Structure 1
Amino acid sequence: MSIFSSILNKIFPHDHPANTGSGAAAGAAASPTAAPGSASAPAGTPATPSTTAAGNSQPPVTPMPTVDVEAVLAKMQESSGEKLNWRTSIVDLLKLLGLDSSLAARKELASELHYTGSTEDSAAMNMWLHKQVMQKLAENGGKVPDDLKS
């Protein structure tokens, strides 16, 4: 499991689309709705794109459930008893989540998130990582305040 996947697992509920994998879960969910529409064509009528489309209306798009990332992390900090600056520090964020915060782990996370700067400049990398993680959390259905994304 990637480090970013571990971050998602710690913040989002286990049944949230960000944790269930959009590819496999979406494909499994789409199959049952597609079958009845294609079976609605009269027997003996070949299924063509026009008859399949006419008999199979698209299900309404359900918005991804939003998770208040700031509230989840604040609650985790209250429970931890540690004073961690997770709002600006990737090291403290990883510690809060109970994940490896070592330089090697942060370099691995930087690679996962396609960091193009020098991993030898850990201060610059850490600032970039924190912003990227917050941005990616927002892209995956997290409600993240703007000040945490920039």
Structure 2
Amino acid sequence: MSIFSTILNKIFPHDHPAASGSGATAAPATPQQPSPASASAAPSGSSTPAAAGAVQPPVTPMPAVDVEAVLVSMQASQGQELNWRTSIVDLMKLLGLDSSLAARKELAQELHYGGNTEDSAAMNMWLHKAVMQKLAENGGKVPDDLKN
């Protein structure tokens, strides 16, 4: 199991789609370009999937999880002061995960960090923001100040 999947499993309820693996992804959130074959398969001028003959199941909204409330509750129950709001190390400690440099480098690889992993300060700041953004993308309600 990836480190990010473990983070999801620690924060999201076990029955949440993201925690079960169906919604979780460590891939960057970039839209895929259609292949030339699939792009030409749709009749020109059609803008709806139904017009192209595709039947799509109804979309069920993913239930939102208040990430901040979960983490505040976890910290209160542990009784130790951790700066999880800005520190990836403290966030990982709060979740009971290995927060070593090696583990953070592995998480950086999972989340496609493009910087120098030897610059741990820059990597750590990027990781915290990336984790919060990924939590939001997977159904977490994350305050803007934690994502930016």
- Asked if these proteins are the same fold (TM beyond 0.5), I'd say yes
Alpha-carbon displacement from aligned partner over 1:46-72 (angstroms, at most 9, x marks no partner): xxxx9xx8xxx8653211000000000
> What is residue 125 of structure 1 aligned with on the other side?
123
Paired letter, 1:78: A
Tell me, in whole angstroms, the C-alpha distance in 1 between the residues paired with 2:133 and 2:56.
Answer: 30
Paired letter, 1:111: Q
> What is residue 86 of structure 2 aligned with on the other side?
88
Paired letter, 1:6: T
Alpha-carbon displacement from aligned partner over 1:69-118 (angstroms, at most 9, x marks no partner): 00000000000110000000000000000000000000000000000100
> What is residue 32 of structure 1 aligned with on the other side?
none
> What is residue 135 of structure 1 aligned with on the other side?
133
Tell me, in whole angstroms, the C-alpha distance in 2 between the residues paired with 1:17 and 1:88.
Answer: 27
Matched length: 119
Q: Does the residue aligned with 1:72 lie in a helix, a strand or coil?
A: helix
Structure with bigger RCO (C-alpha 8 Å, 6+ apart): 2
Tell me, in whole angstroms, the C-alpha distance in 2 between the residues paired with 1:69 and 1:20.
Answer: 17
Paired letter, 1:83: E
Tell me, in whole angstroms, the C-alpha distance in 1 between the residues paired with 2:6 and 2:116.
Answer: 24
Tell me, in whole angstroms, the C-alpha distance in 1 between the residues paired with 2:131 and 2:21.
Answer: 18
- In structure 1, the gaps of 5 or more residues are 24-49
Q: Which protein has the bigger helix share?
A: 1
RMSD after superposition: 1.6
> What is residue 60 of structure 1 aligned with on the other side?
58
> What is residue 33 of structure 1 aligned with on the other side?
none
Deviation above 3 Å: which 4+ runs of structure 1? 57-60
> What is residue 106 of structure 1 aligned with on the other side?
104
Tell me, in whole angstroms, the C-alpha distance in 1 between the residues paired with 2:15 and 2:87.
Answer: 28
Calculate the TM-score normalised by the size of structure 2.
0.77
Aligned ranges 1:18-97 → 2 under 5 Å: 18-22=18-22, 59-97=57-95
Q: Does the residue aligned with 1:108 lie in a helix, a strand or coil?
A: helix
> What is residue 5 of structure 1 aligned with on the other side?
5
- In structure 2, the gaps of 5 or more residues are 24-49
Q: Does the residue aligned with 2:18 lie in a helix, a strand or coil?
A: helix
Partners of 2:5 and 2:21 within 8 A in 1: no
Instruction: Using the aligned pairs only, state the percent identity.
Output: 84
Paired letter, 2:13: P
Tell me, in whole angstroms, the C-alpha distance in 1 between the residues paired with 2:126 and 2:64.
Answer: 24
